[in-house]
């Protein structure tokens, strides 16, 4: 990549109504890069609408970066000469996700997200891994030198698939869950010490773990050790939870009062660095016993009918912008994808959390396992930063998921239904079921995926 030249971004899933618009706005606000964005999606109509939307955003009076958006008919056309590839796809449909999340409720299993672990996360992986294997092969053939940013869940298994198919790929996964914990620590400083932190990036954290099950064992602000302060903060708010504004957690299904995070700190002495909705699904600690228990812990079960309503609202919003009825809002998304691209293109350097193969940055984890740690990003380089080792009790919890995710991956790649059932039964949310109930739930859920698995014996 040559500093100052026009760049090309291939967006796989270019009909996206969420991540794509955020990227378009963030690109528009950055004057140091410009170029073209090729939008590829299996829904060509959605990609064409995003072509119009992206070009409107680029033409906005407040836009500093100038980009040309083009919907393309094939993934090969999107990838040709790409400097960056962004993958943000919905693997399947929201109807599929509705089955992922809500069918297990008949067996007493409640899921707060259902896209990473648990029965829903496993079945989503079964759909997603073959899709990512195909995308990885296309990248290998048409854009082998591009940097690849993945936003799709289950993130660890998506990135794992990219490296399995194309070991030389330059790929990583981006997730904003750690950002929320940095903001919580900033809010803690205001609450406990009256210190106003201007930007969450001023909170420096050491990140260890896997996506959505990440941990922080060191945190500081301008040389101030935050762990002792967090211990006092947790002691004060562990029962009622902490809300920067009253009833934050009630007004948005994506918010919580951090009670799960606080409980985990009291158990293990580390800061759990994902949101409560994700953390609860990795553990058999009773946070998801039933909807009433979830309410007491002050987080939410994110129903898929709500996601469908959100999708429809975004569609209407896009239509209104394209028709001129509404104005597009140009404000930063808070994501770091564009800043990472800037650093990779040679515009400075940065440290941020990413998901990439373990090269020894987490001690005691298998080489090549997809882990989430900090990395130093600079011109055409992403170097993981040594994070150290998790305490034994937390290490065992995380390693259980590392092993089970690998078992899911191998089962899907081999199209082995029996191996997949074993991994399914070992998940903490499923392990409480009898073998017969677990097998029955598995059979129903896998049967619903028959259209995605034509070569499987289902």
Pairing of strands 213-221, 203-210: antiparallel
Return the H-helix or E-strand segment holding 417. helix 417-426
Q: What is the Cα–Cα distance from 423 to 430, expressed in whole angstroms?
A: 10
Catalytic-role residue among 60, 176, 258, 300: 176
Give the residue among 169, 95, 85, 87 at the shortest CA–CA distance from 128: 87
Residue among 171, 176, 181 at smallest CA distance from 258: 181
- β-strands 67-71, 84-87 pairing: unpaired
Question: How far, in Å, CA of 449 to CA of 455, rounded?
Answer: 12
> How many whole angstroms separate alpha carbon 369 and alpha carbon 362?
10
Half-sphere exposure of 77 (CA within 13 A, CB side): 10
To the query of whether residue 60 is one of the catalytic residues in this protein, the response is: no
Residue 241 to residue 257: CA distance in whole angstroms = 5
Phi-psi region of 4 (alpha: psi -120 to 50; beta: other; left: phi over 0): left
Known catalytic residues are: 176
């Amino acid at each position: 990549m040559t500093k100052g030249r026009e760049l090309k971004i291939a967006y796989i899933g270019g009909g996206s109504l969420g991540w794509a618009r955020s990227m378009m706005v963030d690109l528009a606000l950055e004057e140091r890069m410009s170029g073209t964005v090729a939008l590829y999606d299996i829904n060509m109509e959605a990609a064409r609408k995003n072509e119009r939307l992206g070009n409107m955003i680029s033409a906005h009076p407040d836009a500093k970066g100038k980009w040309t958006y083009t919907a393309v008919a094939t993934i090969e056309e999107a990838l040709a000469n790409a400097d960056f590839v962004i993958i943000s796809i919905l693997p399947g449909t929201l109807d599929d996700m509705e089955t992922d999340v809500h069918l297990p409720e008949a067996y007493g299993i409640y899921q707060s997200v259902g896209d990473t672990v648990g029965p829903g996360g496993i079945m989503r992986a079964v759909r997603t891994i073959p899709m990512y294997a195909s995308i990885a092969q296309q990248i290998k053939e048409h854009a082998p030198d591009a940097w690849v940013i993945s936003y799709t869940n289950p993130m660890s298994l998506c990135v794992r698939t990219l490296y399995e198919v194309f070991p030389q790929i330059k790929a990583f996964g981006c997730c904003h869950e750690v950002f929320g914990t940095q903001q919580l620590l900033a809010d803690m400083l205001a609450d406990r010490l009256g210190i106003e932190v201007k930007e969450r990036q001023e909170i420096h954290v050491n990140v260890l773990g896997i996506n959505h099950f990440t941990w922080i064992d060191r945190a500081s602000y301008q040389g101030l050790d935050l762990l002792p302060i967090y211990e006092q903060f947790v002691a004060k708010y562990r029962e009622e939870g902490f809300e920067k504004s009253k009833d934050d957690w009630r007004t948005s299904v994506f918010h919580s009062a951090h009670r799960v995070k606080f409980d985990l700190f009291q158990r293990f002495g580390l800061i759990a660095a994902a949101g409560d909705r994700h953390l609860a699904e990795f553990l058999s600690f009773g946070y998801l016993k039933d909807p009433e228990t979830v309410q007491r812990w002050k987080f939410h079960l994110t129903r898929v009918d709500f996601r469908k309503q959100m999708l429809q609202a975004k569609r209407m919003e896009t239509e209104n912008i394209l028709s001129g009825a509404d104005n597009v809002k140009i404000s930063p998304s808070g994501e770091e994808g564009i800043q990472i691209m800037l650093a990779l293109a040679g515009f400075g350097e940065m440290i941020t959390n990413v998901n990439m193969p373990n090269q020894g940055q987490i001690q005691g984890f298998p080489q090549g396992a997809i882990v989430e740690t900090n990395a130093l990003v600079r011109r055409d380089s992403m170097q993981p930063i040594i994070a150290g080792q998790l305490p034994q009790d937390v290490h065992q919890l995380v390693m259980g998921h590392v092993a089970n995710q690998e078992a899911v991956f191998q089962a899907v790649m081999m199209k082995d239904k029996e191996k997949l059932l074993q991994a399914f039964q070992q998940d903490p949310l499923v392990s409480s079921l009898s073998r017969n109930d677990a097998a029955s739930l598995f059979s129903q859920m896998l049967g619903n995926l028959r259209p995605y698995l034509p070569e499987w014996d289902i």
